Amino acid sequence: MSHAHRPWGYQPPEEGHSPDWKLHPQTEAIRAGTERSGFGETSEAMYLTSGFTYDNAEQAEHAFIDEVDHYVYSRFANPTVAMFEKRLAAIEGAEFCVATASGMAAMFASVASIASAGDRVVASASMFSSCHVVLTEILPRWGITVELVKGNDEKTWAAALTQPTKAVFIETPSNPLLEIVDIKMVSDLAHKAGAIVIVDNVMASPVLQKPLELGADVVMYSATKHIDGQGRVLGGAVLGNFEYIYEHFLPFFRHTGPAISPFNAWVLLKSLETMEMRVQRMNSNAQEIAEYLDSHENINWVRYPGIGSHPQFKIARSQMSGGGTTISFEIKGDQKRTFEIMNKLHVIDISNNLGDSKSLITHPASTTHRRLSPEVRAEMGITESVLRLSVGLEHPSDLLRDIDQAFTS
């Protein structure tokens, strides 16, 4: 990569300090990206600054023509944000990462930065409702055609991808019903149609699924979920290769302003250090609860990618290293009965967030997916008796007991 293309603030790796072997992602999660100031602080510094100063006018001029590594403005880049970006890129195994103010800022910019009027985007139909609004209401206003495809149907994907396509957007597992899309199958078809494949990897987290290794080109996150994992800040990230990030994403990002606050980036940077352990524990708690619910007499069905009753269990097992931290299930009974059960929980909180250390339950039809029309909700399988449980870090015995007493009391 030519020096002139390096964005503001990216420093070359320090020679002499990096080991000459490839570090494990868990080691990267603790060490990657750290840039110490002259004080030699152990923990990464928080650079709460919007702007930067220059030694002289020439240095400022050079910084703007991208010839020297000097930060110019925190809308473009910031040292604390850069530490978070480098660390997440190292964990993901991506060439570059750009942090954003929220997951939706990441999602919107990931598509809007490459699609123009007249372009076609194909997406899996089951997805987070704000992503659905962006794809079906906002982008079409600017002349972008969006086609939604049933995520698990290879024939439909093949048919949709016979025409030239700019981008393919997939969410797997999907929120809230945890449908699985075969990332490799879709990536192969998409590439033949000339499309860039963007994966919303929020539900799996960087710990349990590596879309780039499966053939995807771009990964996006809501860092609000497992990356923070403690319910504190909003954030997002887009990861990809040089061509995508430099030629498409950054020119859009720098001038439209979805930059993250350095404070939020610092919180997320420190969260990455414990993410692997948190997600693994949440994943094993979720597995235990999903197995319990799978045979529960008060439940019609359970969707959890880590149990054999999941319709795409085989694909889930081949592309994820765990079933994830979220479970969806349908209560036997109507909405009133479903609300009754939610209201009886003592440990699990009613909240629409997910990926948190606290276990959270939500009724998607009346909250997170309320914005969708009843027809779209029905198509996605989100009935009035469906609940989504995000399993946290509490001891699983208390979570099982809480669920059990809510059904029986």
Residue ranges in contact with ligand PLP by CB under 6 A: 102-104, 107, 128, 130-131, 171, 175, 200, 202-203, 222, 224-225, 234, 236
As measured in angstroms, the least distance from the Cβ of 101 to ligand PLP is 8
Residue placing its CB nearer to ligand PLP in the complex, 224 or 271: 224
Kindly write down the DSSP assignment for every residue of 86-123, as one continuous string.
HHHHHHHT-SEEEEESSHHHHHHHHHHTT--TT-EEEE
* Rounded Cα distance, 74 and 367, in Å: 34
Q: Are 221 and 271 in contact (CB under 8 A)?
A: no
Q: Identity (one letter) of the amino acid at 338?
A: T
* Rounded Cα distance, 189 and 191, in Å: 6
Residue placing its CB nearer to ligand PLP in the complex, 78 or 224: 224
Residue length of the chain: 409
As measured in angstroms, the least distance from the Cβ of 188 to ligand PLP is 23
Residue placing its CB nearer to ligand PLP in the complex, 166 or 388: 388
Strands (E) located in 184-254: 196-200, 218-222, 236-240
As measured in angstroms, the least distance from the Cβ of 175 to ligand PLP is 4
Residue placing its CB nearer to ligand PLP in the complex, 68 or 133: 133
Provide φ and ψ at 121, rounded to 5°.
-125, 135
> Which residue is closest to ligand PLP by CB?
103
If one counts every other C-beta atom within 10 angstroms of the C-beta of residue 280, the result is: 15
Residue placing its CB nearer to ligand PLP in the complex, 171 or 217: 171
As measured in angstroms, the least distance from the Cβ of 105 to ligand PLP is 7
As measured in angstroms, the least distance from the Cβ of 12 to ligand PLP is 31
As measured in angstroms, the least distance from the Cβ of 205 to ligand PLP is 11
Q: Is 367 exposed, middle or buried (0-12, 13-18, 19+ CB in 10 A)?
A: middle
Residue placing its CB nearer to ligand PLP in the complex, 71 or 388: 388
* Rounded Cα distance, 147 and 384, in Å: 27
